[in-house]
Amino acid sequence: MSEIVNSVIRSGFMLAQLDEHPGWKGENIPWEFTLVATT
Mind listing the pLDDT tens digit for each residue in 1-39? 899 999 999 999 999 999 988 877 877 776 889 999 999
**Structure confidence at residue 20 (pLDDT):** 87
For residue 12, the model assigns a pLDDT of 98
Say how many domains are in the chain: 1
In which domain, by residue range, is 8 found?
A: 2-38
From the list 3, 33, 7, the residue with the least C-alpha distance to 18 is 33
Instruction: Report pLDDT for 3.
Output: 94
End-to-end C-alpha distance for the chain, whole angstroms: 20
pTM: 0.70
